[in-house]
Structure 1
Amino acid sequence: MPGFLLHVGAQVQCLHAGNAQPMAVNSRVLVSGQPTVQVTSPYSVSGCTMPSPTAGNGPCVTGQWTTSATRVTSMGQPLLLQDSQATCIPTGTGLLVITTQTRVTGN
């Protein structure tokens, strides 16, 4: 399905309200003046509220994307979309895109 391209300025959180930021960006494609993110870039999570292993299996540390655009690539790698799916390590939960730019869509 088509969705808005994810960029560095997008607000992304783990399902426990921890903030997530890409560890690598794609400066070859800009949207709203900011770099986009490729599917291969893991996200670093900070501020996750999931309890440590004695009371839970958290907190979320990183997130890796498992789905992305199928038709939009940059430097041979698919770009991330607003509806892309990710899995956090070590909790196994997902990342949630809260806000992103709304001018450029991909499929």
Structure 2
Amino acid sequence: MPGTILHTGTTATCPHGGTLNIIAASPRVSVSGMPVAVLSDQGLVAGCVFTLPNGKPQPCVTTRWIAAATRVLASGHPVLVNPAAALCLSAEQIPGGPPIIAASQTRVIAT
């Protein structure tokens, strides 16, 4: 599915409102002056306040990217596109839901 390429300046949150920051491992390719995000990059979540019904805190801390562009690569890795196929995970690797992409660059599209 075609979509705009995500980059390190993408504004995103976990489903519970925590801030998602994409950390580019290889910043050689950029769009809008920022490194593109690829399938192997980390997505770190800060400020998630999710708590289980039993009162145990279970905040999202990282993101697992599930799918990316199939035809566009950056440094040999598939680039991430919006809508992002991903899951936000707790420290115990329990899925908290997909990230919410609020804003990203709009000029470069990949499939």
Normalization by structure 1: what TM-score?
A: 0.89
Opposite residue 98 of structure 2, the aligned amino acid is G
CA distance in 2, matches of 1:78, 1:59: 28
Gaps of 5+ in 1: none
Structure having the larger proportion of residues in strand: 2
Tell me how large the CA RMSD over aligned residues is. 1.8
Opposite residue 64 of structure 1, the aligned amino acid is R
Normalization by structure 2: what TM-score?
A: 0.86
Indicate the percent of aligned positions where both proteins have the same amino acid: 36
Q: Report the counterpart of residue 69 of structure 1 in structure 2.
A: 69
Deviations 1:59-86 (A, max 9, x none): 0011110011111111221000011211
Q: Report the counterpart of residue 96 of structure 1 in structure 2.
A: 100
Query: How many correspondences in the alignment?
Result: 107
Assess if the C-alpha contact under 8 Å between 2:7 and 2:22 holds in 1.
no
Cα distance 1:25–1:103, how it changes in 2: closer, same or farther (>3 A)? farther
CA distance in 1, matches of 2:70, 2:57: 33
Paired residue secondary structure (2:41): coil
Cα distance 1:74–1:2, how it changes in 2: closer, same or farther (>3 A)? same
Paired residue secondary structure (2:82): coil
